[in-house]
Amino acid sequence: MKFLGALFLAATASAHYTFPALVAGGSTTGAWQYVRKTTNYQSNGPVTDVTSNQIRCYELSPGTPAQGTYEVAAGSTIGFTAQSSITHPGTLQFYMAKAPSGQTAASWDGSGNVWFKIFEQGPTITAKGLSWPSQDKSQVTVPIPKSLPSGEYLFRVEHIALHSAATAGGAQFYISCAQVKVTGGGSGTPGPLVSFPGAYKATDPGIMLNIYYPIPTSYTPPGPKVWSG
């Protein structure tokens, strides 16, 4: 039993993942059709350096857009597929950033103090330990805030795997950015705004922690507060 347990742990620890496609309205787009191809599209491996430019969108070839920009109505639900599933425990977050005038979601690199968070999902904490709602999911979704102004955005998913996060640099960031065009939006002012890199430090309490022992009594996801619209 002990031996089988060790084998199982070894297998799951190497099972990294990607977020290659969008899901909306019950259907799934093609892989890397609206999502910029990530550096880990073959290896499935994570970003571990929060100061690297890769922490923004994990792009294989920065400057190379995805094939298309996906149209989505404000207030509707959209998300990403996880290939083949989110095998690690950790926190799930979604961010967006609006392409400045003169740029499109396809042309823009997402640099600057431009990103706001629209969703964060920490663990359920019990005396037995932490459980993470996104774990083992093969897709994750979020409602686009209804008051988000119409326009072109980068839409970023981030899953921070925390199984080996007890030391700085141990957390594993799985990231993708999609190009979207929001329609029927409102007149909200998203914020607070942060940059990637810049938003995180390797020692942030939501990034560097032992999730197993002693069992944490609270968890604070890294980055800015969620903009609720």
Positions that interact with Cu ion (CB under 5 A): 16
Rounded to whole angstroms, the Cα distance separating 45 from 42 reads: 8
147: which 2 tokens? 């008051």
Rounded to whole angstroms, the Cα distance separating 73 from 214 reads: 44
Q: What element of type H or E holds 56?
A: helix 54-57
CB 16 → Cu ion: shortest distance, Å? 4
Rounded to whole angstroms, the Cα distance separating 139 from 144 reads: 16
* Residue placing its CB nearer to Cu ion in the complex, 11 or 215: 11
Task: Map residue 10 onto helix, strand or coil.
Answer: helix
- Computed from CA positions of residues 112, 123, 175, 45, in that sequence, does the dihedral angle turn out positive or negative? positive
CB 191 → Cu ion: shortest distance, Å? 32
* Residue placing its CB nearer to Cu ion in the complex, 156 or 159: 159
* Residue placing its CB nearer to Cu ion in the complex, 96 or 157: 157
CB 15 → Cu ion: shortest distance, Å? 6
CB 221 → Cu ion: shortest distance, Å? 19
Contacts of 105-110 with CB under 8 Å at 24 or more apart are 105/65, 105/69, 105/152, 105/153, 105/154, 105/179, 105/180, 105/181, 106/65, 106/66, 106/69, 106/152, 106/179, 107/65, 108/152, 108/154, 109/62, 109/63, 110/56, 110/57, 110/154, 110/156, 110/177, 110/196
* Residue placing its CB nearer to Cu ion in the complex, 14 or 189: 14
* Residue placing its CB nearer to Cu ion in the complex, 1 or 10: 10
192: which 2 tokens? 């607070």
213: which 2 tokens? 């022992």
Among all residues, whose Cβ is closest to Cu ion? 16
* Residue placing its CB nearer to Cu ion in the complex, 46 or 221: 46
CB 128 → Cu ion: shortest distance, Å? 23
* Residue placing its CB nearer to Cu ion in the complex, 93 or 179: 93
Task: Map residue 2 onto helix, strand or coil.
Answer: helix
CB 87 → Cu ion: shortest distance, Å? 6
CB 12 → Cu ion: shortest distance, Å? 8
